[in-house]
Amino acid sequence: MDFFLAPEFWSALAAIIVIDLVLAGDNAIVIALAARNLPKVHQRRAIIWGTVGAVAVRASLTVAVLWLLEIPGLMLAGGLLLTWIAYRLLAGDDSNGRDHDVAPARSFWAAMRTIVIADAVMGLDNVLAVAGAAHGSVLLVVAGLVISIPIVVWGSTIILHWLERFPSLLYIGGAVLAWTAAKMIVDEPLYQDWLDARPGIRSAIYVVVIAGVLGVPRLRAARKAKEVLQ
């Protein structure tokens, strides 16, 4: 019970929810494209059960990632990769080039297969981000993925609308991803003794990662706008 009352549990769960909110859009698009040619009576079932299947696959992948991150050096690698994912999320256009050209399925089971496979292939960012935010807790992984089911099935169009209307929400999500990436980097066991002797470097890593993820895309956008005006 004390575990559920701990501030760390709720802050990690809040981070996972924000990550799911920010990264749900792509998964929702894949699901909608895969099911778009099904009869109306089957579309809702395909969306719901396809999402449940995709979440089950993602849960397995995330638990596997939790185990892999125990291997020396992989926490650092995961943090660096997540930093790039967070940057790409905010950079947009050519830096965020995901392919949503999903062929529509002709049957209920074909739609489910397409949804599960596409989600597993595209879900690296979500899996890595959730695993990093969960700090090794399988309970948090499961809780985050259970929360992601209604987010993807019912809330994605609303989320996409909010992101279009309030672009700053994307930066909040990017900041959470960057913070998670920085925490993975500073938690790497390989150099804990070295960091313990230099406490200021931990704070510096957080500042550099978060400022870089949030600042570089804005500088690039400003530079491109200036070039267009010239």
Half-sphere exposure of 13 (CA within 13 A, CB side): 15
CA distance 189 to 212: 24
- Token pair of 30 as six digits: 């894949």
Is 1 within the bounds of a domain? no
Q: Which of 126, 85, 97 is nearest to 209 (CA)?
A: 85
Report pTM: 0.66
- pLDDT value at position 23? 66
Which tens digit of pLDDT belongs to each residue from 110-149?
A: 777 776 776 666 566 677 777 778 777 878 877 777 776 6
Is 22 within the bounds of a domain? yes
CB 212 within 8 A of CB 87: yes
Is 11 within the bounds of a domain? yes
Is 103 within the bounds of a domain? yes
Is 2 within the bounds of a domain? no
Is 220 within the bounds of a domain? yes
Which tens digit of pLDDT belongs to each residue from 217-227?
A: 888 878 887 77
Is 211 within the bounds of a domain? yes
Could you give the angle at which helices 7-35 and 168-186 cross, rounded to 10 degrees? 120
CA distance 71 to 190: 10
Residues of the domain holding 151? 7-229
Tally the domains of the chain: 1
Q: What is the DSSP-derived secondary structure letter of residue 103? A: P
